[in-house]
Chain A
């Protein structure tokens, strides 16, 4: 009985989407942040997903061989920083304003972030549904032979 592979795939999907939600929340929260440790205004971040083999035997791991037929888990490969230029906003009273009175603000579109947040939520829910399907199958399998 190999239900753990499906459960691992679904939970990898859930954790990847939750990670993405954290990044999107940080983008929304920092929509007006003008100072960051790396200098300049906050830059919007995005996640990069990759498909990796769920479970590999020692031999496959040793030879780094991925069979095309095996179930793949999702993994967050990294967080990319958006290269969009900051938006200049005229606000001479702002402490970070330049000589002309313009402040470099993060280029974050709340609409875009909300759409991504909805996508992440729905993907998360789809993974929960898949997980529940696997769980009910496993429970049914355990009932085999019960009087």
Chain B
């Protein structure tokens, strides 16, 4: 394990960062609920984070030398970038605004709960480290 901060902490930290960014976009969607022509946006990152998490697994090719390439497509967790998408609204409105209030509020709540869960988990990680440092005191 390199250092005392393992990959879980990096993963939690990146997730927290993306959830905070997503919250910014969702709040902006709600604020612009009556702006003509405004397109609702969302941030997707779960898949990219999942792929980055698997990037440390060995690739499809066998390596017998440190300089061999194993063919895996590795983006380190630290470099994962979220993607902004237009959230589709099948109903739509006549003024070109694509904000669906119910869906945005549901996303906000979901994002908030996930954020709080992640924050609790990272807190717990630090508590574990603290316990180890203090020899379980």
Contacts and interface: CB of A to CB of B under 8 A. Distances in A.
Given A69-B84, A126-B101, A144-B122, A54 B28 contact: yes
Interface string A1-35: 11101110110110010000000000000000000
A119 to B, nearest CB: 7
User: Residue among B101, B115, B120 with the most chain A CB within 10 A?
Assistant: B115
A141 B32 contact: no
20 contacts: A2-B20, A3-B20, A6-B27, A9-B28, A10-B30, A13-B30, A13-B32, A49-B34, A51-B32, A71-B41, A74-B32, A119-B34, A123-B34, A127-B31, A130-B105, A133-B23, A133-B27, A133-B112, A140-B116, A140-B119
Contacts, number: 115
A136 B126 CA distance: 21
A144 B126 contact: yes
Contact of A73 (B28, B101, B127): B28
Interface of B: 16, 19-21, 23-28, 30-38, 41, 84, 101, 104-105, 108-109, 111-112, 115-116, 119-120, 122-123, 126-127, 130
A126 B24 CA distance: 15
Contacts of A6: 20, 23-24, 26-28
Contacts of B119: 137, 140-141, 143-144
Given A129-B105, A140-B116, A72 B27 contact: no
B123 A145 contact: yes
